[in-house]
Homo-oligomer: A and B are copies of this chain.
């Protein structure tokens, strides 16, 4: 299948929800899709033919008096072959087999059933995602499989073998400002697999960055070729599930995947210049640095923050991540001295503004002074909400964050903001406020210095190897 054909699969104009019944357990997906406002028609299908959430239902997909582009199948595993045949008869182009209990299951005969499903689909000309997956999130047509996914499209394409990880990833990324071209949750990959999807995203002009969560591959050689080719044209981030003995056992039972050797994966990803991450949080961290920061032209970093001890640890983290802190020249120190007095602060690189939380304009001015110094190509600003004599809560945080955002805009250099994670009620509210402000300003925000520099270090290595 070529790019155009896949792309049309992923933009359906009508959906059949097979298995959506008045039972809430079987209609939650329809409910989510309705609330998200899918732009086409939705037709519930269930054996009783009873109405679901106010929509007329059909006893079979074949009875729907309209073309059906996409079918979401939530039916018992044993019924799946017949339903796929119905889809074929109805000329459905793409199905998502949500149902679990196939090749990943220990139940006798379920691996065979998955192969029969694939055969039936192939014979009937139906492409499908799964089984054991959530299917498609495509904001362009307002198609979703989970609540609170963004309505707007963005530059990130995702292939994700896990439904839960898809949801965690989209939401965590969305709250930090990332939007998606589309996400495909593809489960056991009995038909459409990781190579197909990687190829699709490589060609998709709406996708600038590809994220993949993969437990195992179906076509090893092809995937290796596709991944190398893709990484030559677009940045790719891979989170490999089942990296070791423990995860591999789980992956086999989760998506029926053979996890493969960690050494083979590590060397493939390294050779292909693919950014490997080890958690969903890290995945988002790296994506943020790719999307919201122009490529820094070197590892030379300027740190400015509030809190002496935090500053010492920040500098340690910087070097651990392979970033360097060139010494601040005397004229910049002099310029800082004009903004604020030096006692109790650090006027080097890093710069520590100590406890100036209540002096936003001095903080902003200092950020501008050190940010405009040409000796560093990357600026990292940090502060904590629970680090001063008084906790900074929702009310106090806005002036400080606003002043910093203003300075960042003026400096115009690749910049990240670290707001040290807060554990208290007030400070957590303040953190979310700053997060929202960062999203609006297009500034990447990180909850720890270590996470920021680890992600940025990876991204700089990516650019340097490209």
Q: Which residues of A contact B (CB under 8 A)?
A: 28-29, 32, 77, 100-101, 105-107, 132, 145-148, 160-168, 171-172, 175-176, 213, 215, 239, 241-247, 249-251, 253-255, 278-281, 306-320, 324-325, 327, 342-344, 346-350, 352, 354-355, 384, 386-391, 420-425, 427-428, 432, 435, 447-450
Question: Do A147 and B308 touch across chains, with their CB atoms under 8 A apart?
Answer: no
Question: Do B343 and A247 touch across chains, with their CB atoms under 8 A apart?
Answer: no
With beta carbons under 8 angstroms apart, the residue of B28, B164, B255 that contacts A307 is B164
Q: CB-CB < 8 A to A390: which residues of B?
A: 28, 32, 146-147
Q: CB-CB < 8 A to A251: which residues of B?
A: 312
State in angstroms the CA–CA spacing of A308 and B346 once bound together. 47
Question: Do A132 and B279 touch across chains, with their CB atoms under 8 A apart?
Answer: no
Question: Do B450 and A279 touch across chains, with their CB atoms under 8 A apart?
Answer: yes
State in angstroms the CA–CA spacing of A350 and B244 once bound together. 13
Question: Do B350 and A250 touch across chains, with their CB atoms under 8 A apart?
Answer: yes
**Chain B nearest CB, measured from A464 CB (Å):** 20
**Chain B nearest CB, measured from A458 CB (Å):** 16
Question: Do A384 and B164 touch across chains, with their CB atoms under 8 A apart?
Answer: yes
Question: Do A312 and B346 touch across chains, with their CB atoms under 8 A apart?
Answer: no
Question: Do A171 and B424 touch across chains, with their CB atoms under 8 A apart?
Answer: yes
**Chain B nearest CB, measured from A426 CB (Å):** 8
With beta carbons under 8 angstroms apart, the residue of B175, B324, B387, B423 that contacts A435 is B423
Question: Do B423 and A171 touch across chains, with their CB atoms under 8 A apart?
Answer: yes
Question: Do A343 and B105 touch across chains, with their CB atoms under 8 A apart?
Answer: yes
State in angstroms the CA–CA spacing of A391 and B450 once bound together. 28
Closest residue of chain B to A28 (Cβ to Cβ) is: B389
Assuming the contacts A244-B319, A320-B244, asked whether A384 and B168 have C-beta atoms less than 8 A apart, the reply is yes
State in angstroms the CA–CA spacing of A344 and B97 once bound together. 12
* 23 examples of A-B residue contacts, CB within 8 angstroms: A77-B343, A146-B388, A147-B391, A161-B309, A164-B388, A167-B389, A168-B307, A175-B423, A176-B423, A215-B309, A239-B313, A241-B312, A244-B316, A247-B316, A249-B325, A249-B327, A250-B315, A250-B346, A253-B352, A254-B312, A279-B317, A279-B450, A280-B420
State in angstroms the CA–CA spacing of A420 and B244 once bound together. 21
**Chain B nearest CB, measured from A439 CB (Å):** 10
Question: Do B309 and A387 touch across chains, with their CB atoms under 8 A apart?
Answer: no
With beta carbons under 8 angstroms apart, the residue of B107, B245, B255 that contacts A308 is B255
User: Most chain-B Cβ atoms within 10 A of its Cβ — which of A254, A327, A427?
Assistant: A254
**Chain B nearest CB, measured from A31 CB (Å):** 9
Question: Do A316 and B242 touch across chains, with their CB atoms under 8 A apart?
Answer: yes
Closest residue of chain B to A349 (Cβ to Cβ) is: B249
Question: Do B101 and A344 touch across chains, with their CB atoms under 8 A apart?
Answer: yes
State in angstroms the CA–CA spacing of A170 and B146 once bound together. 38
Closest residue of chain B to A147 (Cβ to Cβ) is: B390
User: Most chain-B Cβ atoms within 10 A of its Cβ — which of A164, A168, A215, A306?
Assistant: A164
Q: CB-CB < 8 A to A307: which residues of B?
A: 162, 164-165, 168
State in angstroms the CA–CA spacing of A443 and B303 once bound together. 37
User: Most chain-B Cβ atoms within 10 A of its Cβ — which of A243, A251, A280, A308?
Assistant: A308
Complex A-B, nearest 3 residue pairs according to Cβ-Cβ distance, in ascending order: A162-B309, A165-B309, A100-B344
**Chain B nearest CB, measured from A213 CB (Å):** 7
Q: CB-CB < 8 A to A244: which residues of B?
A: 316, 319-320
Q: CB-CB < 8 A to A386: which residues of B?
A: 148, 167-168, 171-172
Question: Do B312 and A391 touch across chains, with their CB atoms under 8 A apart?
Answer: no
Question: Do A312 and B105 touch across chains, with their CB atoms under 8 A apart?
Answer: no
Assuming the contacts A32-B389, A161-B309, A423-B171, asked whether A247 and B315 have C-beta atoms less than 8 A apart, the reply is yes
State in angstroms the CA–CA spacing of A425 and B308 once bound together. 30
| 13 extra interface residue pairs, beta carbon distance < 8 Å, beyond A168-B310, A215-B309, A246-B319 | A146-B390, A147-B391, A148-B386, A148-B424, A162-B312, A164-B309, A164-B388, A172-B421, A175-B424, A241-B309, A246-B325, A247-B316, A250-B350
Question: Do B253 and A348 touch across chains, with their CB atoms under 8 A apart?
Answer: yes
State in angstroms the CA–CA spacing of A198 and B407 once bound together. 43
User: Most chain-B Cβ atoms within 10 A of its Cβ — which of A32, A215, A250?
Assistant: A250
Q: CB-CB < 8 A to A246: which residues of B?
A: 315-316, 318-319, 324-325, 350
State in angstroms the CA–CA spacing of A243 and B389 once bound together. 26
Question: Do B324 and A389 touch across chains, with their CB atoms under 8 A apart?
Answer: no
